[in-house]
């Protein structure tokens, strides 16, 4: 039986746009705050993992700002699961017995980078057609042979679910955004804290039907950091540190298995289902035991799919689940009580670590106005296209 790993310290910056800082500033701030939160310093760390997609921020740059102790550094990228992969990397080092304490940092500075996808560039003005690439294409396919940009891709993923299941449509997707924007009004760390009515959401500017603007996550800047500790090391620390530590009951990472439709439409479901099944098995808990869930609502359509993928609702029943109010903060299974990616924000490399921060903070009972009372078990889920899915199940239990 492998050793248990605990979250000892956790921190995140408010998600915002920080034109006067660079990504390393944000990463450093989160790292120092997480170290302090855990009652530790960089001198105690035996490994650092850093997740960042776009800025060239790596663990070595962070150590140059907070202490070049010479420890091993792992720089990871895994699309939207990058931050969670950093957390898991540190955890694996502890499980392997190579270290007792380590820190994971996820950071991103996106500014206003706009739509993400494979074909965001302008077309060349002058050219002669020449087949290129694995599809032998003579010109960019975006907008000619469908879309690969995220709002449309996730719009299609939502519509595929609507095709296969009754009781799901534009209104159910919009209700997800209504909930998450409402939740975000209680979270001072969220990028946006503005409530919208269902009508306002449905009548807002259409980005890619069925996702209107408030049903798409914003781009933004931020960083989160998590300090992990082995069970044996935790027992040597102060009672206060032991009391605030949160147990990692499961940490799972999957990629997308082959599916017949996966090339035409990225399959965000199967790898999430696989990860959830494994996480529940490892943690020895079921979906009914979860007091709260932070899941990957990059678009409102995506959240609805994951109710089903994570077994939070009856099979095929995601529409009825949101209609019933179950995922609201006062419902049966609060989902994205932080405001979710839709309103809290989604700095890509940060997001996975921010989810672990959020669950940790809730289980410690330190979430302030957004606290889910008595929360003991929580899940943080992220998925990045390509694809990569990470799930962490955390529990408040005696060390």
Partner 1 sequence: MGKQIPMVDYLVLDDGAPHLVARSCNNCGALYFDRRNACARCGKNDFGTKQLGTTGTVRAFAIVHQAAPNVPVPFVSTVVDLEGGGHVKANIVNVEPSPEKVSLGMKVRLTTFVAGTDDDGTEAVAFGFEPA
The string of DSSP codes covering 352-399 is HHHHHHHHHHHHTT--GGG--TT--EEEEEEEETTTEEEEEEEE----
CA distance 62 to 169: 45
Which listed residue (139, 188, 243, 284) binds partner 1 by CB under 8 A?
139
Closest alpha carbon to 183 in 374, 371, 382: 371
| Residue 122 binds partner 1, judged by CB under 8 A | yes
- Residue 98 phi, psi (nearest 5): -85, -25
C-beta separation of 44 from 18 below 8 A: no
Does position 278 bind partner 1 by CB under 8 A? no
HSE (CB half, 13 Å, CA atoms) of 182? 17
The interface region with partner 1, picked from 90-98, 202-210, 223-231, 305-313 by CB under 8 A, is 202-210
For partner 1, the closer of residues 160 and 289 by Cβ is 160
Least distance to partner 1 from the beta carbon of 182, Å?
25
Q: Applying CB under 8 A, which of residues 170, 173, 192, 328 lies at the interface with partner 1?
A: 170
List the alpha helices (DSSP H) in 53-169.
Answer: 59-66, 82-95, 150-164
Residue 141 lies near partner 1 (rule: CB under 8 A): yes
Measure the CA–CA gap between 131 and 135, rounded to whole angstroms. Answer: 8
Could you report how far apart the first and last alpha carbons of the chain are, in Å? 17
- For residue 141, the minimal CB distance to partner 1 (Å) is 7
Residue 265 interacting with partner 1 (CB under 8 A): yes
Part in contact with partner 1 (CB under 8 A); list of ranges 40-48, 121-129, 289-297, 312-320 = 121-129
Q: Could you say whether residue 261 binds partner 1 (CB under 8 A)?
A: yes
- Judged by CB under 8 A, which of 24, 28, 78, 156 binds partner 1? 156
* Contact characters 18-57, partner 1, x per CB under 8 A: ----------------------------------------
Q: Verify binding: residue 218, partner 1, rule CB under 8 A.
A: no
Q: Which of 255, 162, 231 is nearest to 2 (CA)?
A: 231
Token representation of residue 265: 């439409």
Strand partners, 75: 50
Does 112 help bind partner 1 (rule: CB under 8 A)?
no
Distance CA 306, CA 380 (A): 12
Residues near partner 1 (CB under 8 A): 115, 117, 119-123, 126-129, 131, 133-139, 141-147, 149, 151-153, 155-157, 159-160, 162-163, 170, 205-211, 258, 260-261, 263-265
């Amino acid at each position: 039986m492998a050793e248990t790993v605990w979250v000892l310290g956790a921190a995140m910056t408010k998600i915002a746009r920080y034109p006067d800082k660079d990504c390393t500033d944000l990463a450093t701030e989160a790292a120092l705050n997480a170290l302090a939160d855990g009652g530790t310093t960089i001198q105690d760390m035996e490994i650092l993992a850093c997740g960042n997609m776009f800025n060239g921020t790596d663990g070595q740059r962070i150590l140059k700002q907070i202490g070049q102790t010479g420890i091993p550094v792992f720089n990871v990228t895994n699309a939207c699961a990058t931050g969670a992969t950093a957390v898991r990397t540190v955890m694996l080092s502890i499980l392997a017995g190579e270290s007792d304490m380590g820190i994971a940092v996820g950071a991103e500075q996106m500014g206003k980078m706009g739509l993400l996808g494979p074909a965001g560039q302008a077309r060349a003005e002058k050219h002669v057609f020449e087949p290129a690439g694995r599809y032998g294409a003579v010109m960019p396919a975006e907008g000619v042979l469908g879309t690969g940009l995220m709002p449309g891709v996730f719009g299609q993923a939502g519509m595929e679910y609507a095709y296969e299941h009754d009781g799901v449509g534009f209104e159910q997707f919009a209700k997800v955004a209504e909930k998450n924007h409402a939740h975000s009004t209680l979270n001072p760390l969220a990028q946006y804290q503005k409530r919208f009515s269902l009508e306002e959401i449905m009548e807002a500017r259409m980005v890619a039907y069925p996702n209107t603007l408030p049903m798409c996550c914003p781009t933004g800047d931020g960083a989160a950091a998590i300090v992990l500790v082995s069970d044996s090391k935790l027992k040597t620390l102060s009672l206060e540190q032991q009391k605030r530590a949160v147990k990692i009951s499961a940490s799972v990472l999957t990629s997308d298995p082959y599916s017949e439709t996966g090339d035409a439409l990225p399959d965000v479901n199967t790898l999430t289902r696989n990860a959830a099944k494994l996480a529940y098995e490892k943690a020895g808990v079921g979906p009914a035991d979860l007091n709260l869930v932070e899941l990957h609502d990059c678009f409102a359509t995506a959240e609805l799919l994951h109710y089903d993928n994570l077994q939070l609702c009856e099979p095929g029943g995601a529409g009825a689940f949101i209609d019933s109010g179950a995922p609201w903060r006062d419902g049966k299974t609060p989902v994205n009580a932080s405001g979710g990616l839709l309103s809290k924000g989604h700095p890509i490399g940060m997001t996975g670590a921010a989810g672990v921060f959020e669950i940790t903070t809730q289980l410690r009972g330190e979430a302030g106005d957004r606290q889910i009372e008595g929360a003991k078990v929580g899940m943080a889920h992220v998925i990045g296209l390509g694809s990569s899915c990470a799930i962490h199940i955390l529990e408040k239990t005696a060390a």
